[in-house]
């Protein structure tokens, strides 16, 4: 249900934060390597 997800700003914000966290995690892993 993309419509519902787009309609809910809070839900979209949460997904955005999770995406940023995943990128940060990947960056940390690459730096450690």
Please state the rounded mean pLDDT for residues 13-21: 85
pLDDT at 7: 66
Name the average pLDDT for the chain.
Answer: 78
Q: Which residue has the tokens 């966290």?
A: 21
Q: Which residue has the tokens 């249900």?
A: 1
SS3 10: helix
């Amino acid at each position: 249900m993309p419509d519902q997800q787009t309609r809910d700003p809070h839900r979209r914000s949460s997904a955005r934060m999770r995406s940023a966290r995943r990128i940060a995690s990947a960056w940390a892993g690459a730096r450690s390597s």
